[in-house]
Copies of this chain bind each other. A is one copy, B any other.
Amino acid sequence: MRESTLLLQIAQASAAGFLGRPDVLVGPGDDCAVIAAPGGSTLLLTTDQFIEGVHYARGRSTESIAASAIARSISDIAAMGGAPLYALATAALTKDTHQQHATDLFEAMAACAQGWNCPLIGGDIAITDGQTILTVTAIGAPHATRGPVLRNGAKPGDRVYVTGPLGAALASNWTRTPEPRLDTARRLCEALGDNLHAMIDISDGLGRDAGRIAERSGIAIALEADSIPLAKGIASWREAIAAGEDYELCFTSSTAPPDELGCIAVGIVVEGEGCRAITPDGESFDAHESGWDHRA
């Protein structure tokens, strides 16, 4: 069972619910859903799980677990070019959890969320036999003038960029706390406006996530293998484009981003389908399948 296949099926299962609901501007299948809520607010909504033994190893510090759980959902808001507003968090904790640990965990999540200007406004807690599972829902607002940046707007002729070196999470053996690129995303919205065509956060590796832009936009992406910026400790572009949990952003644009944002051009958008990595000597590899997809 592959999670990506299931997520696609979820999206299809949900689509029937939107008939006659023009207030659902974007449903499942992007980084966030986008709604035009009664009363006038346009909002971004996302929910994500952070699971012991799947997304992190047992023994990691409470602060680091809390920070990562919050950052995953905040990063989905960044991927739309938005600003986070509110968070809700649940925890399923094991029976051997000490009360102090549970309190510390929620205090740490509340502090992290607050650090993103996104107060924790609700939650739930339960005791289970299994591993620790944290679920964070984030609500945000799209950029006031650019609006939400979706995955489906890439156009042939765009350049493909990333916001920083890739593989830092892998190089840290997934102990590094991701830093959602909220500020960069906002500045990209302001500088590029409607020329910022598509954006996604790199949670499953550039190959897979750029492939998602390609699939949703109905175009192809060619990554230039020797342009991929490698995080310290990463030896090859192959490692870099397959590495998940980085939470850098990948975007396509018809104009270049301002130099001071430090974005790196890594490829181009062309007609066709799929995402391939091209080496300097002309070899071509399927990059879409190189990323991280949890399997049962």
> A-side interface residues toward B, CB under 8 Å?
1, 3, 5-7, 9-10, 13-14, 16-18, 21, 23-24, 27-28, 32-33, 35, 37-43, 45-49, 51, 53-55, 85-86, 88-90, 92, 95-99, 102-103, 106-107, 110, 113-114, 119-131, 133, 135, 137, 139, 141, 294-296
What residue in chain B is nearest A23 (Cβ atoms)?
A: B85
Selected A-B contacts with CB under 8 Å, 8 pairs? A5-B99, A6-B102, A9-B106, A10-B120, A28-B121, A38-B41, A128-B130, A129-B131
What residue in chain B is nearest A1 (Cβ atoms)?
A: B99
CA A130 to CA B129, docked complex, whole Å: 7
What residue in chain B is nearest A50 (Cβ atoms)?
A: B126
CA A122 to CA B249, docked complex, whole Å: 20
Given known A-B contacts A86-B24, A102-B6, A54 and B1 have beta carbons under 8 A apart? no
Given known A-B contacts A24-B119, A122-B47, A131-B128, A9 and B103 have beta carbons under 8 A apart? yes
Closest 10 CB pairs of A and B: A130-B130, A39-B41, A17-B119, A40-B40, A41-B41, A33-B121, A17-B114, A37-B41, A13-B107, A47-B88
Chain B CB within 10 Å, residue with most, of A28, A40, A131: A28
CA A135 to CA B136, docked complex, whole Å: 10
Which residues of chain B have C-beta atoms less than 8 A from A45's C-beta? Answer: 86, 88, 121-122, 137, 139
Which residues of chain B have C-beta atoms less than 8 A from A33's C-beta? Answer: 86, 88, 121-122
Given known A-B contacts A6-B102, A85-B37, A47 and B124 have beta carbons under 8 A apart? yes
The reply to whether A53 and B129 contact each other, CB–CB distance below 8 Å, is yes
The reply to whether A10 and B106 contact each other, CB–CB distance below 8 Å, is yes
The reply to whether A1 and B119 contact each other, CB–CB distance below 8 Å, is no
The reply to whether A39 and B38 contact each other, CB–CB distance below 8 Å, is no
CA A86 to CA B46, docked complex, whole Å: 12
What residue in chain B is nearest A40 (Cβ atoms)?
A: B40
- The smallest beta-carbon distance between A51 and chain B, in angstroms, is 6
Which residues of chain B have C-beta atoms less than 8 A from A106's C-beta? Answer: 6, 9-10, 13-14
Cβ-neighbour of A296 out of B17, B38, B46, B97 (below 8 A): B97
- The smallest beta-carbon distance between A103 and chain B, in angstroms, is 5
The reply to whether A97 and B1 contact each other, CB–CB distance below 8 Å, is yes
CA A96 to CA B90, docked complex, whole Å: 24
Given known A-B contacts A37-B41, A39-B41, A296-B97, A13 and B124 have beta carbons under 8 A apart? no
